[in-house]
Amino acid sequence: MMKKKKRNVFEVKLDAEEQELLDSIERDEWKSVKNIEEERAFAKAAAAKVPSFCISAKRG
């Protein structure tokens, strides 16, 4: 049986957009929201309206 090699999560290669988001978080530019459940519902409803072909095309 072949052993699985463990990956160090800190050695993951980020693309430019991911790196920009991480840098922004590390600069403490993100703010908490007071109404998290309302924001979560809003984001979920918005995501449900995105056609699936847009999501799959972006991944591949």
pLDDT higher than threshold 70 for residue 53: no
Question: What per-residue confidence (pLDDT) applies to 8?
Answer: 73
Task: Count Cα neighbours of 7 within 13 Å in the Cβ-side half-sphere.
Answer: 5
What lies within 8 Å, CB to CB, of 19 at 6+ separation is none
What pTM, to 2 d.p., does this model score? 0.48
Read off the pLDDT of residues 4-47 as tens digits, 9 standing for 90 and up. Answer: 777 776 788 899 999 999 999 999 999 999 999 999 999 999 98
Token pair, residue 12, equals: 């993951």
Q: Report the amino acid identity of residue 10.
A: F
Count other C-beta atoms under 10 Å from residue 21's C-beta: 13
Task: Quickly state the pLDDT bin for 54 (edges 50, 70, 90).
Answer: low
Question: What per-residue confidence (pLDDT) applies to 2?
Answer: 66
What lies within 8 Å, CB to CB, of 39 at 6+ separation is 33
